[in-house]
Amino acid sequence: MNLDSNNHSVFLMYYHLVLVVKYRRNVIDDTISDYSKEKFVSLGEKYNITLVEWNHDIDHVHILFKAHPNTELSKFINAYKSASSRLIKKEFPFVRKKLWKEMFWSRSFCLLTTGGSPIEVVKKYIENQGIK
């Protein structure tokens, strides 16, 4: 197991994030997913966040990522949701029509610590718990 490190500590912190489209609109296709993923990676660099795995369905995304202990996760998530919402609606006009003036993402999100489990294991656990 390879641990991450900074000046005074070693760590391995994996998180599973689920973001849902506002009103669970069916708007995420491969193109929007790839665009969202690209924005996640570019913004994540500023917050010491590294994307491990990304999967999507038509109305939500599952993101497995690593972070440093001093990363302010809620600030990053809100910054990502805000920036990506604005950019997605600008880049994909059909999304703007479906959501009008609303944000792309729902206000809420699900963030779980994973202990390094692959996203398939986490998704299976979530499905078995009835969380959607």
Task: Give backbone dihedrals phi and psi of 79, rounded to 5 degrees, phi first.
Answer: -65, -45
Residue 132 pLDDT level (bands cut at 50, 70, 90): low
Are 8 and 99 in contact, with CB atoms under 8 Å apart?
Answer: no
What is the pLDDT, as a whole number, of residue 12? 85
Of 18, 28, 40, nearest to 109 by C-alpha is: 18
Residue 82's H or E segment, with its range, is helix 73-91
Contacts of 83 (CB under 8 A, 6+ apart): 39, 43
How do residues 89-115 score in pLDDT, each as one tens digit? 999 988 887 776 788 999 999 999 987
Of 8, 112, 117, 123, nearest to 68 by C-alpha is: 8
pTM score:
0.85
Residue type, 63: I
Task: Please tell me the distance from the alpha carbon of residue 89 to that of residue 98, in angstroms, as a whole number.
Answer: 10
Question: What's domain 10-129's superfamily in CATH?
Answer: Transposase IS200-like (3.30.70.1290)
How do residues 31-85 score in pLDDT, each as one tens digit? 999 999 999 999 999 999 999 999 999 999 999 999 999 999 999 999 999 999 9
Are 64 and 41 in contact, with CB atoms under 8 Å apart?
Answer: no
* Domain residue spans of the chain: 10-129
Q: Is 106 helix (H, G, I), strand (E, B) or coil?
A: strand
Residue 45's H or E segment, with its range, is none
What is the pLDDT, as a whole number, of residue 55? 94
Residue 132's H or E segment, with its range, is none
Residues in the chain: 132
